[in-house]
């Protein structure tokens, strides 16, 4: 990761490589782990909190950790840099905005990010582009074993891994996939989609987690339960639902193109036209238009820009990224202008 | 005029040549004239109506008429062709939709159009692009003299030229200018503009006359009174108001660019982007977007398309023109698609 030039590299979750990448942007598995000898981060003293960080970062810098991780101390970073990590999905908003000694250890390719002193002492996350949940699981499982051989995890034979919030006790596992469902949104079936996903004990969230809207028609689907099932069962439960959801969106796309081809084409092309010409544009509108363009590429309407570029724009046009790219702090109005400029530049428009 | 290929030639009123053409699209003067020996068209017998047409068209084909006119018999034309003449401003909607022997004599460059058996036996119209009202007046005045030397006009020493509707008695003169006022519309000053124009006894109408909206931010301003003043006074009264109106719009443009430059730029460029990418577009939206693009060219933002092209698109994208261009009758949905295709083609987009 290059904090000074966020355009230098595309994050793992945006690479668009792997199965069903037209609909599944990325797969993520994270494990919540705590240290046996320290209190949970919400109750810990500042002295112990620092000690815990030293203890963990030493373990994370061990040569047995693959891929190697670089530790970023959030309490020593600017607000914009911290926000940028949130926008890149490497850390959480809560973690970024908290206080005290804390950080995140990230691999060069951004496929691994370990949050330190978030709600739990460790939140080990592994990302894979597209629908590669099992791969993400086996990678995080291996990493967990290596980290667990370096530090003492708080573990109860009865409950499993202990965690600050009861919903994470047990396996401490949350698996999620990020889905792009524009046809579903266009055909106004989002509510019925939410209901059917909830019925099989999965949760749906927006692009930036709980309580965020499904901006850009991006939805995160994840397991709700962490206790009472094995890790493999949780992964399998989520993984088995995804092909149905993918099928649902594919059908919605076909139906849309069958029933209102010119409306879809029109929406896709106008979105592309507006991104190429706007002189001021909000972040939300950008996500919405990028979503249409992404659909347009996937259904074969647009071939002058690739999905990776669109995926990357989803993140690079967010406020913190934009300010890093411009190298200055910008108010909302200036950001909207800078965003429009940046998009035109990326799309090769004058 | 080429009825089979309406793209072959741009009408006089769209040529964009002359003073203040950034705001004044065109100037028009028309004279209402009736024949002494025939009843008004609303009361005439069908036999006399035909005889009147023969009498008038013979006079109009005289070699002394300059420029030479070609007569189009509306009662022998298809509905689409008649609508096309309305869209080109050569005849009125009422004349097009009426029944019985009637027509319009048009010069090759469409600078002259004489309606025959509209509300009056003759409505002699002369058009000039831009703000050239005096020129239009002297041309129509000359033409009126020539026609008047060929036919017997109904004239009363007391009232002047007699006409079917009392508002036209006297001089029978209506002078009007077509104005493009996008900045006025953007700054929501249309109502106050209407009030101030009415206060000086001028009427404001939309693009297609009485009761039509100001589509594309195009407004026709004309005299309301035809009796009790000389022709020169009427022309002078209107002509003297136009520089103020032009100044008003220019100020509004400057103010807009001063106060909300990026919003104006954004609107202009997005409009251009949408015209270049839309796959289906209504006639009203087209006029609205063309209006923004026309403003964009005039304030120096856009230089990859010229005003003449935009002016021409105002007319060529209307329903009848579009159907003539496609060579087939189209329903509203098909027209919207054909319109988007045609605009992209004209703007050189794939």
CB B220 within 8 Å of CB B176: yes
Q: Choose between B20 and B9: higher pLDDT.
A: B20
With CB atoms and an 8 Å threshold, state whether B337 touches A262. Answer: yes
DSSP A210: T
Token readout for A321 is 């990224």
Share above pLDDT 90 across residues of chain B, in percent, rounded to a whole number: 83
Q: Is the pLDDT of residue A288 over 70?
A: yes
Cα A153 from Cα A171, distance rounded (Å): 12
With CB atoms and an 8 Å threshold, state whether A277 touches B280. Answer: no
Q: Is the pLDDT of residue A211 over 70?
A: no
Distance from CA of B242 to the nearest CA of A (A): 33
Q: Is the pLDDT of residue B173 over 60?
A: yes
Nearest to B13 by CA among B136, B134, B195, B161: B136
Q: Taking CB atoms and an 8 Å cutoff, what residues of chain B touch A278?
A: 266, 269-270, 273
Please return the burial class of A156, using the count of CB atoms within 10 Å of its CB with bins 0-12, 13-18 and 19+: exposed
Instruction: Write down how long chain B is.
Output: 350
**pLDDT at A138 (0 to 100):** 97
Helices marked H in chain A: 46-60, 79-87, 93-97, 133-148, 182-186, 190-199, 231-277, 283-298, 307-316, 319-326, 332-346
Report DSSP letters for A87-112, one per residue.
Answer: HTTSS-HHHHH--SS-EEEEETTSSE
CB A322 within 8 Å of CB A287: no
**Widest Cα–Cα separation across chain A:** 64
Who's near A238: CB < 8 A, 6+ residues apart?
Answer: A133, A175, A176, A177, A202, A221, A222, A223
User: Model confidence over B143-155: pLDDT tens digits?
Assistant: 999 999 999 999 9
Cα A107 from Cα A68, distance rounded (Å): 6
Cα B162 from Cα B335, distance rounded (Å): 43
For residues A166, A168, A170, A175, the Cα torsion angle rounded to the nearest 10 degrees is: 160
Instruction: Write down how long chain A is.
Output: 350
Among B277, B299, B332, the residue to mutate for chain A (most A Cβ within 10 A) = B277
**pLDDT at B100 (0 to 100):** 95
Q: Choose between B334 and B187: higher pLDDT.
A: B334
Token readout for B201 is 């006894």
Q: Which of A262, A273, A279 sits opposite B262 (nearest CB)?
A: A279
Q: Taking CB atoms and an 8 Å cutoff, what residues of chain A touch B277?
A: 269-270, 272-273
Q: Which of B270, B280, B340 sits opposite A274 (nearest CB)?
A: B270
- Spell B152-165 as b/e; 16+ CB within 10 A means b: ebbeeeeebbbbbe
With CB atoms and an 8 Å threshold, state whether A278 touches B273. Answer: yes
Structure pTM?
0.91
Q: Tell me the pLDDT band of B232, cut-offs 50, 70 and 90.
A: very high
Q: Where are the domains of chain A?
A: 12-253, 261-346
DSSP B98: -
Query: With an 8 Å Cβ cutoff, is A259 touching chain B?
Result: no
Cα B60 from Cα B70, distance rounded (Å): 9
Strand A112-116 to B218-223 pairing: unpaired
Q: Coil, strand or helix: which one is A343?
A: helix
Q: Which of A263, A266, A280 sits opposite B266 (nearest CB)?
A: A280
DSSP A170: B
Name the residue in chain B with its Cα closest to that of A264: B279
Q: Tell me the pLDDT band of A137, cut-offs 50, 70 and 90.
A: very high
Query: With an 8 Å Cβ cutoff, is B273 touching chain A?
Result: yes
Dihedral of alpha carbons B180, B185, B186, B187, sign: positive
Q: Is the pLDDT of residue B196 over 90?
A: no
**pLDDT at B142 (0 to 100):** 97
pLDDT, average across residues A56-75: 96
Q: Tell me the pLDDT band of A212, cut-offs 50, 70 and 90.
A: low
Q: Tell me the pLDDT band of A123, cut-offs 50, 70 and 90.
A: very high
Query: With an 8 Å Cβ cutoff, is A51 touching chain B?
Result: no
Q: Taking CB atoms and an 8 Å cutoff, what residues of chain A touch B272?
A: 277
What CATH class has B12-253?
alpha beta
**pLDDT at A185 (0 to 100):** 87
């Amino acid at each position: 990761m290059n904090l000074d030039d966020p355009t230098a590299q595309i994050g793992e979750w945006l690479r668009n490589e792997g199965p069903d990448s037209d609909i599944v942007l990325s797969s993520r598995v994270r494990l919540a782990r705590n240290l046996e000898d320290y209190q949970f981060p919400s109750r810990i003293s500042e002295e112990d909190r620092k000690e815990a960080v030293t203890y963990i970062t030493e373990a994370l810098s061990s040569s047995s950790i693959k891929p190697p991780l670089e530790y970023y101390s959030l309490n020593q970073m600017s607000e914009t840099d911290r926000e940028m990590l949130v926008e890149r999905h490497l850390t959480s908003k809560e973690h970024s905005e908290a206080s005290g000694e804390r950080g995140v250890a990230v691999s060069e390719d951004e496929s691994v990010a370990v949050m330190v002193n978030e709600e739990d002492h460790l939140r080990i996350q592994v990302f894979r582009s597209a629908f590669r949940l099992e791969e993400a699981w086996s990678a995080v499982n291996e990493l967990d074993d290596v980290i667990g051989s370096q530090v003492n995890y708080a573990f109860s034979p009865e409950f499993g891994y202990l965690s600050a919030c009861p919903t994470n006790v047990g396996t401490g596992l949350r698996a999620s996939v990020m889905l792009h469902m524009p046809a579903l949104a266009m055909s106004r079936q989002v509510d019925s989609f939410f209901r059917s996903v909830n019925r099989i004990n999965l949760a749906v969230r927006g692009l930036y987690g709980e309580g965020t809207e499904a901006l850009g028609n991006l939805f995160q689907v994840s397991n709700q339960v962490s206790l009472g099932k094995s890790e493999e069962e949780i992964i399998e439960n989520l993984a088995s639902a995804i092909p149905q959801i993918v099928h649902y969106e594919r059908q919605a796309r076909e139906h849309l193109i069958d029933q209102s081809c010119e409306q879809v084409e029109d929406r896709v092309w106008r979105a592309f036209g507006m991104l190429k010409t706007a002189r001021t544009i909000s972040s939300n509108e950008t996500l919405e238009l990028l979503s249409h363009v992404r659909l347009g590429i996937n259904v074969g309407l647009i071939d002058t820009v690739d999905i990776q570029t669109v995926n990357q724009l989803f993140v690079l046009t967010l406020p913190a990224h934009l300010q890093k790219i411009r190298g200055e702090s910008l108010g909302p109005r200036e950001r909207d202008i800078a965003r429009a400029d940046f998009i035109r530049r990326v799309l090769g428009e004058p």
